[in-house]
Amino acid sequence: MIRIHAATERVHTDRRDSQNLRGMLPYLAEFRGRALMALGCLVLAKLANVGVPMVLKDIVDAFEQANGAALALPVGLLLAYGALKLGNSLFNELRDVVFARVRFRAMRRLSTRVLTHLHRLSLSYHLGRQSGAVSRDLERGTRSIATILNYLVFSVIPVLVEFTLVAAVLLTKYDLIFTLVTFGTVVVYIGFTFAITEWRMDYRRQMNVLDSQANTRAFDSLLNYETVKYFGNERLELDRYDGTLAEWEDLAVKSQSSMSLLNFGQGSIIALGVTLIMFYAAQGVVSGSMSIGDLVLVNAFMLQLFIPLGFLGIVYRQIKYAMADMDLVFKLLDREPEVTDAPDAPALALDQGAVRFEHVGFRYQPERPILHEVDFRIEPGETVAVVGHSGAGKSTLARLLFRFYDPQQGCILIDGQDIRAVTQDSLRAAIGVVPQDTVLFNETIRYNLAYGRPSASEKEVRHAAELAHIAEFIEGLPDGWETVVGERGLKLSGGEKQRVAIARAMLKRPRILIFDEATSSLDSRTEQAIQQTLAEVAENHTTLVIAHRLSTVVDADRILVMDRGRVIEQGGHRALLEQGGAYAAMWELQQREREIEPAENGAPRRPGARP
């Protein structure tokens, strides 16, 4: 369903091209002086270009008027001809040099703004996005702004300026028929080009959708390389990828065929217009109303107009394609984050780090309630554990505290301040998280560990590593701190990644710590070692521990037992066992599982242990 929705969203746009062009203007404002200078160079280049045929006419007329007398070399006209050709080239290159900074700065600004906006969007967007498709759409979208600026400044505006200058010459020096034929041909040409191109645009949009889908499938198959290998599904992945490309291929063939039709039609219109112009010019020469030089001038004007006009059809298509690509980016920028700071929100005034959930209710979708009237407090320096079966709502508490989502009922307070009333940056600076699945950057161990506080000194980074009991391991590696951990940290074991996560959380120096099932995927021996490390770093911190294995939270100051989004029991480990309720039942079940586990692995079963 996600792919269908994404495809529909790409093909049917809500924005108009004019809106997207207006949205591009702020990226030009920084260098508007340069843009005006480039426009001035463009006009001068076109003045020189239009002047070339006029000087050529005078040269031809000078030879024609000799009438058999000794021919004299028109040195002045020849020098003027060369100067105009040189001026046209010089001003064109100056335009390119002056405008380069405008174009590339606009690309840079848009790319940075898009990435900033992606980081601002809420977790719900990122859980539903397709990384491969987003990557390809952003690449095309940010490149499209350079494409549009290039074509506008180097193709469209120059042609318009040249048309204006040629029209002025034709209207003042020649019969009206020349102007009517010339610009009548232009109007027919442009109308034909626009009509056919609009028809072809649907092919391009569908090709973009399929291109993004193919990229997503390739990206996903490589990202899940191990899973593909586990199940021997290389052929399945290749078939899905090739199937999408096969659809893309069919559309590409249709697009190319329709472009050939467009090019032939454009060529026919130009040929007809030039033939008519030359016919009337030749008639003028025969009747004596025009000289040979005038014939040369009109022919040169036609070549100057229709050669770039031939490219204008391609330019229009490319601009339309670029506008379609840019539309994806601007629609993304139009998307508002679900979690935003209140106007003039102050920074969190952190004192002792007391946390309070007051009658919190939350649901991801209206039909799927997750939390109901959750009410508890974590005192400064206290460790509170939350346990329960899968789907009880444990991890949702961490997401709400970190403000990835806002609750629909109740509120969450830190030192008496509603977290919705303070800035997200200050709130998140006060909280350190060790997640269940630690994802590392494909960088060095030093980079990943220092990510908790990039400004930290070497001594502070090493101290954090020592607190997490990983410094000795790092220094024992062949490349030490410069060891590259691989994509998502795959070159490290689960326990090593968890220790890096603990170290960078400690380097952040938060007042509040969240351990979200930080040992659930580890073996028993590694779990015990990590558990000891967690206990050490939790001292003097307000700590929320989310756990599935009850053996990891027996030393917590207080344990909350959740079931179907409600806190049904709370208290210390022994007190909960004595109550004989849900916690005691979970404890007994997990103890049985631990007793059975060695027997299933081939070890002798303990006497009295039940299978």
pLDDT digits (tens, 9 = 90+) for 372-394: 999 999 999 899 999 988 888 88
- Under the banding of pLDDT at 50, 70 and 90, the label for residue 525 is low
CATH architecture of 342-430+511-611: 3-Layer(aba) Sandwich (3.40)
Instruction: Kindly indicate the confidence band of residue 536, based on its pLDDT and cuts at 50, 70 and 90.
Output: confident
pLDDT-derived band at 293 (thresholds 50, 70, 90) equals confident
Least confident of 211-215, 342-346, 429-433: 211-215
Phi, psi (rounded to 5 degrees) for 561: -105, 125
Q: Residue 454, by phi and psi: left (phi above 0), alpha (psi -120 to 50) or beta?
A: alpha
Residue 275: both structure tokens together: 């033939």
Helix axes 292-334, 157-173, angle to 10 degrees: 150
The residue behind tokens 């004595």 is 578
Q: Which two tokens mark 543?
A: 């700590």
Fold: same for 342-430+511-611 and 439-509: yes
Alpha helices in 224-291 (DSSP H): 225-230, 234-287
* Domain 439-509 indexed as CATH 3.40.50.180: no
pLDDT level of residue 9 (50, 70, 90 thresholds): very low
Q: What is the pLDDT of residue 67?
A: 60
pLDDT tens digits along 163-181: 888 888 888 888 888 888 8
What distance in Å separates the CA atoms of residue 281 and residue 290, rounded to the nearest whole number?
7
In the chain, where the domains are located: 2-334, 342-430+511-611, 439-509
Question: What is the token pair recorded at 178?
Answer: 């020349």
Cα gap 429→452, rounded to integer Å: 10
Say which DSSP state 482 is in: G
pLDDT at 571: 92
Q: Could you tell me the strand order of the sheet in which 368-378 lies?
A: 368-378, 355-365, 409-414, 417-418
**DSSP β-bridge partners for residue 560:** 386, 570
Q: Residue 508 is inside which H or E element, if any? A: none
* Rounded Cα gap, residues 480 and 461, in angstroms: 14
Instruction: Decide: 408 and 372 in contact? Cβ < 8 Å.
Output: no
Confidence at residue 608, expressed as pLDDT on a 0 to 100 scale: 34
Q: Are the CB atoms for 554 and 586 separated by under 8 Å?
A: no
Task: Give me the pLDDT at residue 519, please.
Answer: 67
Tens-place pLDDT, residues 101-113: 888 888 888 888 8
pLDDT exceeds cutoff 60 at 15:
no
CATH code: domain 2-334 is 1.20.1560.10
Beta bridge partners of 383: 543
Average pLDDT over the chain, rounded to an integer: 81
CB-based contact 517:476 (threshold 8 Å): no
- What does the pLDDT read at residue 137? 65
DSSP code for 528 = H
Say how far apart CA 99 and CA 408 lie, in whole Å.
Answer: 51
* pLDDT at residue 152 in the model: 77
d(CA 574, CA 163): 90
Q: Length of the chain in residues, anyone?
A: 611
292-334 helix and 131-151 helix, angle to the nearest 10 degrees: 150
Identify the weakest region by mean pLDDT among 400-404, 463-467, 521-525: 521-525
58-67, 79-88, 182-191, 354-363: least confidently modelled range: 58-67
Lowest mean pLDDT among 28-42, 117-131, 345-359: 117-131
Q: Is the pLDDT at 411 greater than 90, yes or no?
A: yes
- Under a CB-based contact definition with an 8 Å cutoff, are residues 312 and 157 in contact? no
pLDDT at position 609 is: 36
Parallel/antiparallel/unpaired status of strands 409-414 and 417-418:
antiparallel
Average pLDDT over residues 430-443: 85
Residues 574, 576, 578, 583, Cα dihedral to 10°: -120
pTM of the model: 0.64
Q: Which residue has the tokens 């020096």?
A: 173
Contact 359, 409 (CB under 8 A): yes
Q: Which amino acid is at 370?
A: I
Rounded-to-integer distance, Cα 402 and Cα 419, Å: 9
Cβ burial of 373 (10 Å; 0-12, 13-18, 19+) is: middle
Say whether pLDDT at 11 is over 70: no
- Give pLDDT tens digits for 53-72: 888 888 887 777 766 555 56
Q: Given this model, what pLDDT does residue 19 score?
A: 74
What is the mean pLDDT of the segment spanning 69-82?
Answer: 75
C-alpha–C-alpha distance, residues 511 and 542, integer Å: 6
